[in-house]
Amino acid sequence: MTAAKPPAYKRVLLKVSGEALMGEREYGLDTATCRRIAEDVKGVVDLGVQVCLVIGGGNIFRGVSAAAAGMDRAQADYMGMLATVMNALAMQSALESIGVVTRVQSAIPMASVCEPYIRRRAERHMEKGRVVIFAAGTGNPFFTTDTAAALRAAEMRCDALFKGTQVDGVYSADPRKNPRAERYERLTYLDMLARDLQVMDAAAISLARENRLPIVVFNIHEPGAFTAVMKGEGRFTTVVEQIQ
């Protein structure tokens, strides 16, 4: 009997876009989708991996879009941060409904609904096996939730940053629009920046590079993909400092 393959990492951060929570809806939250993603997270937790999350807010409000329409950018970004708190609470509910102990920490203090972000407390939660969801981005306007994910992953001393996307890795173009798009198995941070592969923004990639934090890109919509990728199985792209 073949022994089960151990997980490739011991502590990871999963970045999920707000749009990933919509399911087939055009706006807002789909509870079935939230539960499916929660089950994927539970599968990784059950492997003994410490997990934290950052969730975007684009399914509710996008600060950049509102700013482009004439709203003050800082004000729009703060509204977007509040949208991420709503998504974090929804994901907490989904995780706890299947027995995963979870804490939400917000970069914007709101003690009535969640904890304030405190790095050492977050680490302690993870050491006890709790999933920590970081909400409200970095707490500052002009920064994306991708940058917040890279920042929190570095602060938590994660072994890797997992980015759940719409497709199974990084491509030279959107494969849903261009069937000839090339898929990459491994890339360097500089490849991502030089080729303008818009999986994450430049600030997030640069932050990951400075902290030698591998980025693993996979399809968040494929059930069980997070667990499979954690074992080194399935289809994904890994972004590192140098390709061996």
Instruction: Could you list the residues known to form a binding site, using ranges.
Output: 15-18, 57-58, 62, 77, 138-145, 165-166, 171, 174
Pair of tokens at residue 108: 């914007």
CA 88 to chain centre: 11
The two three-digit tokens of residue 191, written as one number: 């490849």
CA distance 226 to 43: 8
Extract the runs of DSSP E, i.e. beta strands, from 61-209.
102-106, 115-116, 131-135, 160-165, 170-171, 183-184, 186-188
Instruction: Output the known binding site for UMP.
Output: 57, 77, 138-145
Instruction: Specify the pairing of strand 186-188 against strand 102-106.
Output: unpaired
Q: At what angle do helices 145-155 and 202-210 cross, to 10 degrees?
A: 10
189-214 burial code (b ≥16 CB/10 A, e <16): bebbeeeebebbeeebbbbbbeeebb
Q: Strand pairing partners for 237?
A: 217
In the annotated binding site for ATP, the residues are: 15-18, 58, 62, 165-166, 171, 174
